[in-house]
Structure 1
Amino acid sequence: MKNNIIEYCLKKQGATEDYPFGFTPVVIKVADKMFAIIFEEKGKDIRLNLKCDPVIAENLREQHESVRPGYHMNKKHWNSITIDGSLPEQDIFDMIDHSYDMVFKKLPKRLRESIAEMN
């Protein structure tokens, strides 16, 4: 599943993979702004941190036990999703889309346009 998540994230326009903290976690960015962080510890479930609108973040936490406030992040704007099989893959991809869109929309217009021209 980890590889599916990374692969899906990297299909986003301008997305890059980075390892600013060592071999783990994997950080996925657009224009040097993080939109996904993937933690994997041996013998444990994968944890995925994603940016999220605060109202949507709260709703997701109420609906899904595997969605919690962001691990080591601003808990209002980030969720941590435990990848334990309880959420369908498409729901996880939808959350990734939302995170990417939130970060992308905050980029300066010129930068958004140059990223859009890349593809």
Structure 2
Amino acid sequence: MNIEEFRTYCLSKKGVTESIPFSNLPNVLVFKVHEKMFTGTDITTFASFSIKCNPETIDELRASFSALQEPSYFSKKHWCRVVMDGTVTDKQLYEWLDISYDLVVAKLPKKIRDQINSE
């Protein structure tokens, strides 16, 4: 997966917007669903990207995949940094993006979830 494939995949999801919201991190591109972030990456390097994870399985995932590491800026209980070191298949990367997106959508109010599902 390269940065363009990552971007295209994220934008293909319902209700997703992209932005560069952090003035102190002008190279960090963030993808949100209804104003809630589900992933982000440094667009100059694409050396890694952040994903939201299920807190119940996050430790097991990190133990199983060396590319999944604790994030620099986010809660270690809910987020992982995925290092793009070539050890994880694109299929698995897409699955993790799906899980991150789904976790965020699940926390949205029912009215917004219904709106997303009807798009």
Q: Please report the TM-score for the alignment, with normalisation by the length of structure 1.
A: 0.90
C-alpha distance in 1 between matches for 2:7 and 2:72: 18
What is the aligned partner in structure 1 of residue 36 from structure 2? 33
C-alpha distance in 2 between matches for 1:46 and 1:40: 9
> Deviation at 1:116?
2.2
What is the aligned partner in structure 1 of residue 102 from structure 2? 101
Q: Which amino acid aligns with 1:16?
A: T
Report percent identity of matched pairs.
Answer: 32
Deviations 1:43-85 (A, max 9, x none): xx62110000012211111011111012210001000000121
Between Structure 1 and Structure 2, the one with more helix by share is 1
Number of equivalent positions = 116
C-alpha distance in 2 between matches for 1:117 and 1:109: 12
What is the aligned partner in structure 2 of residue 14 from structure 1? 15
1:89 aligns with 2:94: no
Give structure 1 regions of 4+ aligned residues with deviation exceeding 3 angstroms: none
What is the aligned partner in structure 2 of residue 70 from structure 1? 71
> Deviation at 1:117?
2.4
- Secondary structure, in 3 states, of the residue corresponding to 1:55? coil
- Secondary structure, in 3 states, of the residue corresponding to 1:54? coil
Q: Which amino acid aligns with 2:48?
A: R
What is the aligned partner in structure 2 of residue 24 from structure 1? 27
Q: Which amino acid aligns with 1:88?
A: T
Q: Please report the TM-score for the alignment, with normalisation by the length of structure 2.
A: 0.90
